[in-house]
Chain A
Amino acid sequence: MSKSILKMHNIEKRFGPITALSHANFELKKGSVVALVGANGAGKSTLMNVLGGITTQDNGQILINDEKVDFNSPGDAARYGIQFVHQELSIFKTMTVAENIFINKFPSKYGLISKHMMETTATQLLAELGSNLNPKHSVETLSTGDCQMVVIARAMLGSPKILILDEPTSSLSKYEKEKLNDVIRRLKTSGVAIIYISHFISEIFEVCDAVTVMRNGATISSQTINETDNATIIELMLGDVASIEKKRKQEKNETIFLSVNKLQNENKVQEATFILNKGEILGIWGLLGSGRTELVRSIIGLDGRPEGTIRINKNGKLSPISVEYLSQVTAYVSEDRRGEGVLLPMSVQKNTALPNLRKVSRSLGIINLEKVRNLAKRVIDSLSVKVSSSDQAVSTLSGGNQQKIVFGKWLETEPDLLILDEPTRGLDISAKGEILKLATNLANAGVSILFISSELEELMKISDRYLIVSERHVVAELPGNSTQDSLISALSKTSQGSAA
């Protein structure tokens, strides 16, 4: 049995009031591939940022070959042979493959870069990774998979002992994934230890030797791959759900509001078929990366032109409509609140007015400031947003109050369809409760809701019915009274199925 080259012991990290890591432990043996999994916000990224020297832990120790180390910068980590390949690839498009690989350490002679040396070394490095990319070619036309090879080759230049791959497969094709697995196996035989962060549980079984699961900032299990299976990992990731109390009683309204038939959008959504009733909360259940966000975005035309038919109920009749029409009657609370939900530097009243400009304008499109203020006041009062005045910049509000602004501005548009994509992410417990209550009230008032959440507990509290989404497909539909076990097994079954 080879010995551990890395031990992370009781790592703790707080960001202001939020605890990102509490008692995280991680161990890595020479030449092994360990998967690091966990739901969104479980602390994987923070733990790896600590290891990569990007952030410093508040407490806890990192041991490399049993020697205690302190990392204050990525450079410190690199000196101990740690290389981080981020999900977002650092690629310079107009430069060649070789230049991209050597970007940090160009070999030069008398101040001039030695092109020949750079290109031969690049060819060698790439060959070791099993890639025959031409180092003279510009990376502009390369596929994502090839760009990844370039970035991995750049990491190899630092002769790493430990390579961190963050979500390496998230935008790769099936063929490219296999190539990447090949590379991982090659690196492993050459003695490099790899930490493999992934949301795709089935992939782990293809290349990893062990799995470490994180939940709520702690590592809760480390097992070798033979000791575990798909369902166990998913269960560990999601944790046990406390008693579920439905927020409202089962809705009996069976009037169809929206019917989606064989919706196909490139490789983002595959043949999605489902219906949504009036005043119903349809929970969309899937892991991160399963295509749940892509599904709702495609319905309202945010991701190009999907194929398939979308029909909605107009005067009691289902009629086909264009995505443009649907986007006009839809309110979309995006999962990226700070990026897409609000305009942070702008005031509360400007934010709430934006989707309602027609409502607050006089003739000739001149905005009536009185109406803008009144609209903001309505939002603030009805959702009890905590602000000192509607002139306050949204950036100064807490996350919960920001989210209320997002809700409020959309509710003023009187939508028929409300899409909630992780609406409670990053909120504290009371704010979460308020958001869920708000959604229930809206459904009671007849708004149809698509609800996405990574937290099974809140999804179960609120959903009247579930759609199970996995690997870009709508794979099943479950009734509102489904148990936690049946929801979890619905996921693990489907991902197991496609792994085979």
Chain B
Amino acid sequence: MNTSILGNRILDFAFPIFLILVSLGFALVEPSFLGLGNIFGMLHAMAPIAIISTGMALIVMMGKLDISLGSIALVSMGVSAIMLQSDYSLFTAILITFLVGAMLGAVNGFVICFLKVNPLIATLGTMIAFRGLGNQITDAQVVVLPDSLRALGNFSFGAIFFDTVICLLLLTTVHLLHQRTKFGKIITAIGNDEATAQRVGLPVTQTVFFSFVIAGTLASIGGFFASAQVGAVTSFLGKGMEFTAVAVVVVGGISLFGGKGSILWGVILGSLTFEVIRSGLNYLGANPYFYQLIGGVVIFIAMYAAAIKLGRSANNS
């Protein structure tokens, strides 16, 4: 009994320890890796994916998935990029970006809650459809963003970037929503057992619907900062981000079966793990494809650790 609790503790801290060791390893080869400049740089670079992962974490808490988030980022950002080209104000364009994100999230919610389609299949469909829609809007061309928006993407308070601050704000808000509100508790209950939640009389349908709306909105915010960082919307915007977000959530210790994990720590830990590996390999001048290989291995290890943990708790009960 005690050894298995100890074992679980070790598994809980496996990724933070791994993260620290890997960072120290990189720093040994290249001391400036752990310099403040690079640390804040990493927090800046990971902000968009961390924001998208925050929405994903909310969905995964219910034991569901939304793999259309990357495509939502493209459509919503595509719309506002086109608007900015035709002289709409920056404020209006930003507002429209987030509204489009919320609307596309509502489309997902509708298909899942009212047409009763399995979330993975539903969002697989919308992932493809939304990407098609996004490319239609931008004509699959690179749309350059105005200077005001580019400036926002790389704006910083001293060393701390604007998007890092927004990311932390959003992350904390969603974390509180999950931990401290009725809405969040119902999400956890659905992640435990949707049928039981229904039987107890919880508003399951509304909760699932609004979670997808929130995830869609966060995807558009993530997409906004991602394109602001590079100064343009390309047809590649958000591509693969949905899967990176799933990986972030899993590495962050949030169970894909739902109901378990911390959104705040999970998303920070997950995003930081991938960012440290990416940035570190970059520092070492490694081939960028090598990063994908390592990323895959990390995901595999995370899933394996989760499986071991699940096996342990099944044996204990």
Contacts and interface: CB of A to CB of B under 8 A. Distances in A.
Partners in one complex: yes
Interface of A: 74-75, 90-95, 99, 103-104, 106, 108, 111-113, 115, 140-141
Nearest to A78: B201
Contact of B188 (A94, A112, A141): A94
A112 B176 contact: yes
Given A94-B192, A104-B200, 17 more contacts: A74-B201, A75-B201, A93-B192, A93-B259, A94-B188, A94-B260, A95-B192, A99-B185, A103-B185, A103-B200, A106-B185, A108-B182, A112-B180, A112-B181, A113-B181, A140-B317, A141-B316
Nearest to B197: A92
B189 interface: yes
B11 interface: no
Contacts of B201: 74-75, 104
A108 B180 CA distance: 9
Contact of A92 (B259, B313, B317): B259
Interface string B179-204: 01110010011011100110111100
- At the interface, is chain B mostly helix, strand, loop or mixed? helix
21 contacts: A74-B201, A92-B188, A92-B189, A92-B196, A92-B197, A93-B192, A93-B259, A94-B188, A94-B192, A94-B259, A95-B259, A99-B185, A99-B188, A103-B200, A103-B202, A111-B181, A112-B180, A112-B181, A113-B181, A113-B182, A141-B317
Contacts of B313: 140
Nearest to B192: A92
B182 A90 contact: no
Contact of A113 (B185, B189, B200, B317): B185
B64 to A, nearest CB: 16
Contacts of B189: 92, 95, 103
A241 to B, nearest CB: 38
B196 A91 contact: yes
Q: 8 tightest CB-CB pairs across the interface, nearest first?
A: A92-B192, A94-B259, A112-B180, A106-B182, A90-B196, A92-B189, A90-B200, A94-B260
Contacts of B259: 92-95
B180 A113 contact: yes
A92 B176 contact: no
Nearest to B179: A113
A331 to B, nearest CB: 31
Nearest to A92: B192
A108 B177 CA distance: 13
Contacts of B192: 92-95
A111 B182 CA distance: 8
Contacts of A99: 185, 188
Contacts of A108: 181-182
Contacts of A95: 185, 188-189, 192, 259
Contacts of A94: 188, 191-192, 259-260
A108 B201 CA distance: 19
A104 B192 CA distance: 15
